Amino acid sequence: MLLKCNIVALFYLGATAVSANTAAVLGTVPPSSTVCPGYHVGYIQNTTDGFTASLKLAGTPCNLYGVDIADLTLSVSFDTNDRLHVHVQDTAGKQYQIPSSVLPLDPSHGAGKARSSLQFDYSQDKTSGFGFRVRRGSEVIFDTTGHPLIFEDQYIEVTSKLPADANIYGIGEAPDFFRRDTANTIKTLWNREAAGEFGKNSYGSHTVYLELRGNSFHGAYLHNSHGMDIVLANNTIQYRILGGTADFYFFNGPSALDVISQYTELVGRPYRVPYWALGLHNCRYGYSSVYEVNDVIANYSKASIPLEAVWSDVDYMDTGRGFTFDPVNYPLSEMQKQLEALHASNQRRVLIVHPAIQHNVSYDPYARGAANDVFVKNPDGSEYITQVWPGYSVLPDWFGANTDSWWGGELTRFLDKLSVDGLWIDMNEPSTFCVGSCGSGRPADEVPPYPWTVDPQPHRPVNFSNHLLAPPYSIHQALVELSDSTIETTAVNAQGIAEFYTHNLYGYMHSKSTYNSLAKYRPNTRPFLLSPTTFAGSGKYVSHWVGDNHSNFFDLRVSISSMLDFGIFGIPMMGADICGFEDDTTEELCARWVEVGAFYPFARDHNMYGAIPQELYRWPTVAEASRRALGIRYSLLPYIYTHLQNSVEKGWPLARALVFEFPQVAATAGIDTQFLVGDALLISPVLTEGETSVDAFFPSGIWYDWYDYSAIKGANANVTLDAPLEHVNVHIRSGRILPGQNPALTTAESRKGEFFLIVAADGNNHASGSLYYDDGETFDTPHRWINLDYNDNVLTIKQVNGNYTIAPCLSKISLLGVRDVKTVMVNDVHVAVTIAHTNGASIVEGLCVDLNADAVISFDF
């Protein structure tokens, strides 16, 4: 959400801090006159799954950005066959670590060294002290030797060598190109509300990365909630952390999907989204009334553009207060009528909810929260009061013993009034409009006039003497200080822990609490939640979007990289505001954007207050581009849903980079202007203004055009494709089978359509695929997994498991690359069908094959 105040993005510089203008080519933090001694290894003790060792400071403390901790403990655990845990912590246990009650991790399975595909060794250097290596066979994938470990109370530095021109993916969140620039990149992890500033820290914090070497991937994850810089430069990856411990996990891979699966096994698999979440969503910050929203709903229908879910931003609230309705423009009675009408049309409703609660004794959510002691405190024990949409506001403390039950109670009261289908939990970085507890000392019944506005004020002097406000090492946070536009780092939670240590967990804990509350409120209905702020493990609870992007072609392009990033982060249900959020879009941009956005896992059109309207029916060309692209999406909902079930079971992303599927093709390593949906559907959009063609890369193999089934023989090279304004190029990978259904304007109606299969034969006349299906709504639904295999003109449908009854039958099979089919047999019985032939494909219609039973379909010539 766009803030009312505009704080200039500056950096502050302490006496020993690294300047924001210092290039990332600094290989080490210390000035040349400072040499940190590192550590030497003491006792070693074997454990059931690895060993522990003591680490002692090897010389005079350098106290570079804090106080050197003299006694450390190294723990090495061979957790699984493909996961290695290396943890360096202070022996006294005083450094803050993420509690397992907050973010539980998959425990060690006790694989042991003998069964592990990853091996660990260490060395002792006279100059740099202790260093370690993680090996995969003879290949070293992480190597700290030659770089001293620095472990202080407010600064930890770990440096590992990288090959020249390494292929690194992940680490964020920040708008960036997908393959990271390993010569000059600083990834700062400090959650903040950000309007699409390229390369700058934004809403979430994710330390996991993948590296491609040769044809194989491996990965690493640092489990730490503190602010940090992760620097790629000088053939190294260097972690500069503001405290905590060096808690690393390494993943063997060897494929990209393997690494992501191993990572999400550790932090948690993605949640099961309801089927309806796969439809098109529409929102705007600035709809004047419920009646204007009704007009928008009607206009989508008139334009025959699918519309699944209608969203409202803060406009619906009474003076910006959560859990309320504007009595004039969004009266509850009219909202209830609207919701009833939407449900009658198989459509859905989503509303925004913020964590900020108005500091007002007559406001019931505050009164109940204060009575239960659920709000964040100042160090002196008073309530921390800031400024957000309702004016002076308090923030829930998710560490509080009563906070989850209080929050769940407020959601229950709200949903009892209006039982919306999903929630958008926004501004949970948490985002604020001022620096510090700017409402402290004010009466609890002081309510400012609405709308609340904040005039930019001169920034307060930075308090360098307070190392929670201004730590000695200054991470490359994109604002003046860590507390800007968010809760102050000196604020404390119920356990007395300062926000400095837990800031990056706030949105994750908000998401977890909200998800669990909804699951309790509707015990057998899958919640749908959207959150801007994420952390490791957030995929268990929420979907995500890139936040306040801009309406320009560059942000359109970068949205693809962000989508691919979040596939790595274990949050596959990801998208960007179609046509852009900030600024005015254009007809051309909006058409091109929907041609990409139709294939985001999460597809929503949304824009800001004051910008021109950009609903997809506003321009004829955009409406036509929407009907075409969304028509493909809705046709392939079963294919998309099947791949999302793979996300639930294996952690695999839905949207995939070409390099994930073709790592052996060197040219794919940097491609982020095309992407795959699942493993079979290649999207090659226009991302440049004024272009009516696109140079698309095609890996070797046969690729079939979605529209006319014509074939391109990929040769690991670019092919120039025509791309008029209303057209997006979509190709089907040979060797794959895609299940679909005849589409409608909602997912519920689409689920009633007859099934079809697209069988894209490869050069060996073979293809395979699968279909997963359930009711798309409940947790305990029966399901059905089906394997699909085509080989030498015979299609086999094989039931794998489950007993969900699929009502529509299979009526159509398109055999791409299979010419001149004349007759068809189903289970050895000839059936009457209609067969058409085009561009070397045979399209069989008129079938009615039961998908609840095994079947063998043969094609004769």
Q: Which residues does the annotation mark as catalytic? A: 426, 429, 548
* 599 vs 720: CA distance, rounded Å: 21
Comparing C-alpha atoms, which of 541, 476, 550 is closest to residue 508? 541
Cβ atoms of residues 525 and 92 within 8 Å: no
* 377 vs 385: CA distance, rounded Å: 8
Comparing C-alpha atoms, which of 39, 34, 74, 88 is closest to residue 59? 39
Q: At what angle do helices 506-521 and 403-417 cross, to 10 degrees?
A: 50
Cβ atoms of residues 163 and 139 within 8 Å: no
- Beta strands at 655-656 and 675-677: parallel, antiparallel or unpaired: antiparallel
**Per the omega criterion (within 30 degrees of 0), is the bond before 451 cis?**
yes
Q: Which amino acid is at 575?
A: G
User: Is the Cα torsion angle 569, 571, 572, 577 positive or negative in sign?
Assistant: negative
Q: Which amino acid is at 743?
A: P
Scored b (16 or more CB within 10 A) or e, 84-118 reads: bbbbbbbeeeebbbbeeebbebeebeebbeeebbb
Comparing C-alpha atoms, which of 600, 611, 506, 511 is closest to residue 561? 600
Q: At what angle do helices 637-650 and 256-267 cross, to 10 degrees?
A: 60
Length of the chain: 861
Taking residue 670's Cβ as centre, other Cβ atoms within 10 Å add up to 14
Q: What is the 3-state secondary structure (H, E, C) of 743-762?
A: CCCCHHHHCCCCEEEEEECC
H/E stretch holding 814:
strand 810-816
Both tokens of 800, joined, read: 């794998």
Taking residue 437's Cβ as centre, other Cβ atoms within 10 Å add up to 25
* 411 vs 323: CA distance, rounded Å: 8
Comparing C-alpha atoms, which of 543, 631, 636, 621 is closest to residue 311? 543
Cβ atoms of residues 819 and 860 within 8 Å: no
Residue 81, judged by CB atoms within 10 A of its CB (0-12, 13-18, 19+), counts as middle
* 492 vs 439: CA distance, rounded Å: 16
H/E stretch holding 176:
none
Both tokens of 514, joined, read: 């909200």
CA dist 313 to 288, 567, 805, Å?
Answer: 11, 26, 38
* 272 vs 620: CA distance, rounded Å: 36
* 529 vs 420: CA distance, rounded Å: 12
Cβ atoms of residues 789 and 818 within 8 Å: no
What DSSP string runs through 415-467?
HHH---SEEEE--TTTB-SSSS-TTTTS-TT----SS------PPPPP-TT-T
**Per the omega criterion (within 30 degrees of 0), is the bond before 355 cis?**
no
Cβ atoms of residues 533 and 510 within 8 Å: yes
**In sequence order, what are the beta bridge partners of 578?**
605
Both tokens of 432, joined, read: 């604020």
* 366 vs 363: CA distance, rounded Å: 6
* 823 vs 183: CA distance, rounded Å: 60
